[in-house]
Amino acid sequence: MDLFRKKDINVLLSRESPLKRTLHTWDLTFLGVGAIIGTGIFVLTGKGALTTGPSLALSFLIAAICCGFAGLCYAEFASMAPVAGSAYTYSYISFGEIITFIIGWDLILEYALGSATVAAGWSGYFVNFVGNLGWHIPKVLTAAAGTTPGVTTYFNLPAFCIVLLITTIIAMGINQTKHVNDVMVTIKIAVILLFIVSTVWFIKTKNWHPFAPYGWYSFNHGTASGIIPGASIVFFSFIGFDSVSSSAEETVNPSKTLPRGILLSLLIATVLYIAMTLTMTGVVKYTVFAKYLDAPILAVLAKTGQGWLSMIVSLGAILGMTTVILVQLYGQSRITYSMSRDGLFPKFFGEVSLKHQTPYKGTWFFGIVTAITAGLVNLNILAELVNIGTLTAFILVSAGILWMRKKYPDIHRGFMAPWVPVSPIISIAFCLLLVVGLNWETWIRFLVWFAIGMAIYFGYARKHSKMNEE
């Protein structure tokens, strides 16, 4: 059996989908913003500022450029092959089955582990928020064992519960998912704009000097510091825009709507990230964030004496991270649905509920697994592992555009990435640059994940692939 056998794009396009088409441009844009704006603003800005200094804004810009060029490639693929599965499906028509399985396996890493990681951050804000209201959750149930040195914890109950709640919403149907996400994203953006407007007047330009204390790349106490390592960290903030392309079979006029949703969500998120970063590092000296790693925005509120904003910001953070979890779990369910439909995963994951028109069983399976992971596992060290899986997917999608332009030059494209072959090559170069900024421990963990995936492919997927029948 050929490990690099490919699917014919015309066969994919002729296949009927049992999923319900209901998403329009702004629904997709809100899905993208819901996935992107969350952890980056409310959690990672503190760690990022300590790594780069005020030049964190440049780190966000570099990460945004990387995602922007990758987004152009995703947009072209989405317009050309509007089929559920995102990069997984694109790789099947570009590089062949074994590469496709690797990408699908990487996307499971991105979405499932990513949503569990965000759920752990969500838990911290939630515990603080309800604590201010007088409701106290036992400390032992606020984090996984070993999360905080010197503090005894056993299980992250809030993280476990939010994942199960979101899984319920996703399993109920795409309309419920869309409406819940739209409301939360609207509130989240309003809170961010309120924060910027309320604090921008307290900026002192002296806090921006030196703007790049660690340069582009340096070692500070044995740890990589500077603008490039900072970009590698905050890249996690942009993860999720690619999940928009997972909704292809639930989108109205996907060849035009998907590219607009992908690129609009990236543009909105980038503007908000840079505005927030410049405001925060302008109000507070970046070194102060060492005391506020879990909630860096609170450092700004303490400096400006705007305690009245803390509850509103905490609510915005809770909603912001809730939408990130929602969109990532949604993308996860559609990836495994596609892999099951192709025979690379058991049929169980691809069974669609006639009542809800969603891959009901697969959604619940991974929702429960993700909830248990968020509750039991210390996720502080795993954000970079999610990054490397996503960067690998970006590289292959960008390379796939080069191949598809050559293989299918005449096929209809609702959107064409500009400056090909230059733009895909720039995307690959930026992704490789960010990979260099990751720690060697991340590579070891990634290779272990890769080895597990290969065992599943050769033990199950290769034998049960629908390509065997074709």
The 10s digit of each residue's pLDDT in 98-110 is 998 998 888 888 7
CB 19 within 8 A of CB 177: no
Is residue 15 scored above 80 in pLDDT? no
Name the percent of the chain lying above pLDDT 70.
Answer: 95
What confidence category does residue 384 fall into, taking pLDDT thresholds of 50, 70 and 90? Answer: low
Is residue 165 scored above 90 in pLDDT? yes
d(C-alpha 104, C-alpha 183), whole Å? 30
What confidence category does residue 451 fall into, taking pLDDT thresholds of 50, 70 and 90? Answer: very high
DSSP-derived 3-state class of residue 421? coil
CB 212 within 8 A of CB 52: yes
What confidence category does residue 288 fall into, taking pLDDT thresholds of 50, 70 and 90? Answer: confident
> What pLDDT score was predicted for residue 162?
95
pLDDT digit string (tens) for 301-348? 888 887 778 788 888 888 888 888 888 898 888 889 889 989 999 998
Per the structure block, which two tokens stand in for 214?
């660690």
Helix, strand, coil distribution of the chain in percent, nearest 5: 75, 0, 25
> What pLDDT score was predicted for residue 213?
87
What confidence category does residue 22 fall into, taking pLDDT thresholds of 50, 70 and 90? Answer: confident
d(C-alpha 367, C-alpha 363), whole Å? 6
What confidence category does residue 364 fall into, taking pLDDT thresholds of 50, 70 and 90? Answer: very high
Nearest to 66 by CA among 439, 391, 396, 397: 391
Nearest to 72 by CA among 334, 402, 363, 306: 402
**Other CB atoms within 10 A of residue 170 CB:** 26
Name the percent of the chain lying above pLDDT 90.
Answer: 17
CB 115 within 8 A of CB 371: no
What confidence category does residue 139 fall into, taking pLDDT thresholds of 50, 70 and 90? Answer: confident
Is residue 1 scored above 60 in pLDDT? no
Indicate the CATH number of 9-468 among 3.30.300.30, 3.40.50.720, 3.40.50.1220, 1.20.1740.10.
Answer: 1.20.1740.10
d(C-alpha 270, C-alpha 65), whole Å? 9
Is residue 183 scored above 70 in pLDDT? yes
**Other CB atoms within 10 A of residue 31 CB:** 31
Q: How much is the average pLDDT of 134-156? A: 82
Q: Average per-residue pLDDT in the chain?
A: 84
Whole-model pTM over 0.85: no
Give the CA distances from residue 188 to residues 100, 269, 322, 341, in Å, rounded to whole numbers and listed in that order: 35, 12, 10, 36
pLDDT digit string (tens) for 244-280? 777 777 888 887 888 888 889 989 989 999 999 999 9
Is residue 128 scored above 90 in pLDDT? no
> What pLDDT score was predicted for residue 463?
93
CB 85 within 8 A of CB 333: no
More confident residue, 128 or 115: 115
User: In b/e form, how buried is each residue of 297-317, taking b as 16+ CB within 10 angstroms?
Assistant: bbbbbebeebeebbebbbbbb
Per the structure block, which two tokens stand in for 105?
């396996």
d(C-alpha 232, C-alpha 388), whole Å? 9
> What pLDDT score was predicted for residue 256?
82
**Other CB atoms within 10 A of residue 101 CB:** 26
How many residues are recorded in the chain?
A: 470
> What pLDDT score was predicted for residue 166?
93
DSSP code at position 140? G
DSSP code at position 23? B
**Other CB atoms within 10 A of residue 448 CB:** 11
**Other CB atoms within 10 A of residue 422 CB:** 11
